[in-house]
Amino acid sequence: MDNGIDFNLVFVDQTSEQQRQVRITKAVVGGWTARDQDGLRHHIEELVKIGVPRPEKTPLFYRVSARRLTTDNAIEVLGDDSSGEVEWVMLRYGGRLWVGAGSDHTDRKIETQGISIAKQICDKPIARRFWPYDEIAGHWEQIELSSEIIINGTRQLYQKGLVASLLAPETLLSLYRQDEGEMADGTLLFGGTMPAIGGVRPADRFIFTMRDPVLSREITHAYEIRVLPNRG
């Protein structure tokens, strides 16, 4: 048994749009993928001071169950210490690389005990739409990521920036290859995120978007965060 999960995804290129049932069997979250290594080291030291373990190396590839992935419009979390973060995601399907958007939703309290545990405990929402990577590789650094949160009915900008602030896909895939081998069909990789505007915080709803200004298109998804009581 491969412990994978089936999704109805939409593959969109410049001439067509096709819906396919895809089985994802491996999910990987790329952590510490900022391109500015000096800034990254400073950020790591800040996190160490509040109890988040120092990574053994950067970037680091965290494995999570493929069954944590979801395209649903709501997730359930334990307690109110989790938050989302927009990321580009890369999927290998049909021997081709496809790019979409997702949220590496993570429990921030448990993160101080172990990052892998914190990531595994939360579902990982992804958008259903994907673009061929070869269509945007030439203008990759112009791709924009953003997220918004809704707290008590008020919508706020949470993250915004270019993927140019993160390691390029070719670089990340090369490093991934050293750790995990070739990226096989059915593998989905989260490519990293950018700082939160105003600091990391929980929300009632999370909206994330990836925009291609060159081809004038975007991928977006939103999900509600339903909090379950943590009774020990």
pLDDT single digits (tens) 65-123: 999 999 999 999 999 999 999 999 999 999 999 999 999 999 988 988 888 999 999 99
**Which ranges in 55-193 belong to alpha helices (H)?**
108-111, 115-120, 133-136, 169-180
Six token digits for residue 205: 């709803």
Bond preceding residue 229 cis, omega within 30 of 0: no
Phi and psi at residue 137, to the nearest 5°:
-55, -35
What is the number of structural domains in the chain? 1
Greatest extent of the chain over all pairs of C-alpha atoms, in Å: 53
Q: Tell me the CATH number at 209.
A: 3.90.850.10
User: What pTM did the predictor assign?
Assistant: 0.93
pLDDT at 48 over 90: no
User: Which domain range does residue 73 map to?
Assistant: 5-228
Terminal C-alpha separation, the chain: 33
Contact predicate 152/204, CB 8 Å: yes
